[in-house]
Amino acid sequence: MLSMNRRTLLGGLAAGTTSLWPQSRVFAQATPSRITVTSYGGIFEGVVRDTFVADFTKRTGVAADIQLGNPSQWMSQVEANPDKPPIDVVISSIDLVIEVGKKNLLEKPTVEKVPNLADVPQYFVDMCQGWGVCFDYGSGGIAYHKGRVKNPPKSLREFVDRTAKGEWRASLPTVAFQPSLQLLIWSLNDALGGTLDNITPVIDAVKQMKPNTVFWSSVTDFLNHLQSGEADIGLYYDGRVWAAYDSGMTFLDFINPSEGAVMTPIAAVKPTNAPPIAWEYINSMLAPGPQTEFGNRMNFGMTNKNVQYSEKVKGRITPWEKTRLPPVDRMAPHVSLWVERWNKEIGA
């Protein structure tokens, strides 16, 4: 989901980022000279540093050290030391945000604390049950090889039916790839009329498609399948499609199915006892200038309504209104049974 293009900082980076807090609110309590924030590795970290960290430090004079890792690791650190959390701003999947928030280890954002929140649809706060706010999102839909699939499916149902008929060879994620619980099992099951308690529709669909299917367990496998000819089409993420396209795989294209792509949002949260200045970092994460630069470089959908995508990128972004958000807070009790049934009946 990452674009490998690096762009110069867009004009207006700081536009709309100046905090509406009086200085007394930001610095009334002892303000540290630096805070700790989190990021995924690779190009993601570089873009975080160039946008959110740069804007935050420019406005506040406070440095932001980036800790790499994953949300489970970071949230465990917060839980282990709630009175003095070692991380001041955590990025996370929303299921972990809800889980940790219910333990009262996170502080809820408000417009008073984070002025740029006023320009973010309430939807991106509600999906976190108020414990955080999503700053970006990707979308999981149908990716295909334009040279070999001349008439791509418009829906997931059509994708299933035509794969089962052998019109092409599909590449699907296996349960070894943890996000497949949403990208494949929940998404197809939902599109085919299943429920959290009943995943027979997706199990039956995959059984029908299996003779014409290869499976992938890492995001690079999918691209290799389409490039080598092992597969022609499959379920994948929009941002990763466009990152690969920009790196030379111009045979790729992406479709948001009529049922709606699967939204994969990333939330930003402040641990309860982190210093108040941490809100200013989240304010930078939601500011239109940094978000515009981040979205253009990463091919991610951004949540501030004032983001201006470049001509190249704007047609690639799946509007959030045309996505489906998995009910992650209700999925957890079912996951072990889903995996057990998948392993028993699909075995891939």
- What is the predicted pLDDT for the residue at 19? 37
pLDDT of residue 276 exceeding 50: yes
Condensed to tens digits (0 to 9), the pLDDT of residues 238-269 reads: 999 999 999 999 999 999 999 999 999 999 99
> What's the half-sphere exposure (Cβ side, CA atoms, 13 Å) at 315?
4
Residue 187 near residue 263 (C-beta atoms within 8 A): no
Is 23-137+264-323 a domain of CATH 3.10.580.10? Answer: no
pLDDT of residue 334 exceeding 50: yes
DSSP 321: G
- What is the predicted pLDDT for the residue at 219? 86
Percent of the chain with pLDDT strictly greater than 70: 92
Q: Which amino acid is at 262?
A: V
- What is the predicted pLDDT for the residue at 257? 98
Q: Which amino acid is at 173?
A: P
Sign of CA dihedral 203, 204, 205, 208: positive
**Residue 178's pLDDT band (cuts 50, 70, 90):** confident
Closest Cα partner for 5 from 222, 244, 227?
244
- What is the predicted pLDDT for the residue at 348? 79
Fold that domain 139-262+324-345 belongs to in CATH: D-Maltodextrin-Binding Protein; domain 2 (3.40.190)
pLDDT of residue 18 exceeding 50: no
User: Residues 108-125: what's their mean pLDDT?
Assistant: 98
- What is the predicted pLDDT for the residue at 123? 97
**Residue 179's pLDDT band (cuts 50, 70, 90):** confident
- What is the predicted pLDDT for the residue at 29? 54
Does 139-262+324-345 match 23-137+264-323 at the fold level?
Answer: yes
3-state secondary structure of 88: coil
Percent of the chain with pLDDT strictly greater than 90: 87
Condensed to tens digits (0 to 9), the pLDDT of residues 71-105 reads: 999 999 999 999 999 999 999 999 999 999 999 99
Give the residue extent of every domain in the chain.
23-137+264-323, 139-262+324-345
User: Residues 312-339: what's their mean pLDDT?
Assistant: 94
Least reliable range by pLDDT among 1-10, 119-128, 230-239: 1-10
pLDDT of residue 68 exceeding 60: yes
User: Residues 37-54: what's their mean pLDDT?
Assistant: 96
pLDDT of residue 115 exceeding 80: yes
Two tokens, residue 279: 């809100």
Biggest distance spanned by C-alpha atoms of the chain: 67
The chain-wide mean pLDDT, for the chain, equals 91
pLDDT of residue 225 exceeding 60: yes
β pairing state of 63-68 and 34-39 = parallel
- What is the predicted pLDDT for the residue at 177? 86
Whole-angstrom distance, CA of residue 311 vs CA of residue 279: 32
Whole-angstrom distance, CA of residue 224 vs CA of residue 147: 15
